Amino acid sequence: MNDYRITTYEPRHRGAVVEFQQMLWQGGAAGNSAYLDWKFGANPYLDDRYVTLAWQESELVGMLGVFGSCWEVDGHGRVMLPCLADTVVAPAHRGGPLFGRMLEWLVERLRADEVPWLLDFGDQPAGPAMLMSGWTAVGPWPVAVAEREVLGSGEGEWSAREAVRGSRSGATITPVATSLPEMPALAAETRSRGSVRVVRDEEYFRWRSRNPLARYFHLVAEEQGTVGYLIAHRTAVDTDDGPTPTTIVECEALDDDVWRDLVEAAVATLPGKVVTMWVRDLAPAREQSLASLGLSPTRPSGRLSQDIHLPKLVMRSTGVVDDAGPLATLTSPDVWDMRGVSGRGWR
């Protein structure tokens, strides 16, 4: 039962992966194939070299997806850090040593290539075991949730909606079909509260928006130019009245009133029953306004069993971190600015 063979991904494994991942991706053969290409092939920062597969004889029984994320680190410039994602173990092999073995195999490869860290923003069932096996947690942090009547938005309908005027800022808030160049430009203007932040340039926006298994909804706020934007994510494999939430993955604005108006417009118009957003790295005035917008924050209780589904970052050093360099401090919660990062934004 434990005679597993662990390998890297190769193109000849494509069919097996597309079929195996149906239990997670649920996109069908064409959708899963396109997602595989987008997540690991078209990723601007890392190819599929670290995708890890486990086999029992000729049967694929486990997979660790590893995709590239790019971060700006003060004093260091840009750095690619691999992220764990799309991890699946076949039901008959769960609860055993397979997941841990795949992780150790992967970490060993990263160490050999002098990649210092492996990140995981996911909601791993194996979370406690990971934390007992050398992984470190940053977080969890609060998430805000709004539940409404189900709102729908069919193909093409979002961008056909009328613009509204922000109730506080007076800015014109317009639904648009895709991200605009003004959005990464605005993201670059916002002041960071941490020394490590995800790169949000045009290349990143372009790659993210091409996720074949996701729908993105964009709002832009304008007042003599672009003064804010909001981007929300919803999986493309669920209907608008399905259980998956719509997640505000980022919202940037030049002032608090515009920010508030964008979030208010989003809560009022995004499809789905539930809208969520991470409550971290928000300016105090913005965090305080959430309740009036219908978003109720759920804050960490400190109890692992209760906080297990709150967003967090877990990370594993591969053992090649330069102790004197800026990447040595990544386990400190204070260095991270998670704006623009959302687990769902990368699914």
Partner 1 sequence: MSGSHDVQDVARTVLDCLRNKLFLDGVTADTHLIESGLIDSVGFIRMFVVLEEEFGIEVTARDLSLERFQNVGSISRFVIEKLAEGGGSDKPAEAVRA
Least Å from the CB of residue 127 to partner 1: 6
Least Å from the CB of residue 136 to partner 1: 9
Least Å from the CB of residue 161 to partner 1: 31
| R_g over Cα of the chain | 20
Least Å from the CB of residue 295 to partner 1: 10
- Dist CA 52 CA 109 (whole Å): 10
> How many residues comprise the chain?
347
> Which chain residues interact with partner 1 by CB under 8 A?
94-97, 124-129, 131-133, 137, 142, 291, 296-308, 310
Tell me the CA distances in angstroms from 204 to 36, 42, 45, 199, one per residue in order. Answer: 17, 11, 9, 7
Nearer CB in complex with partner 1: 28/128: 128
User: How many alpha carbons fall within 13 Å on the CB side of residue 50?
Assistant: 32
Least Å from the CB of residue 138 to partner 1: 10
Nearer CB in complex with partner 1: 224/305: 305
- Dist CA 141 CA 278 (whole Å): 8
CB of 318 closer than 8 Å to CB of 134: no
Nearer CB in complex with partner 1: 73/279: 279
Name the token pair of 268: 């009022």
Nearer CB in complex with partner 1: 98/199: 98
Q: Which among 88, 333, 103 is positioned nearest to 195, based on CA atoms?
A: 333
Nearer CB in complex with partner 1: 173/338: 338
Name the token pair of 344: 């769902």
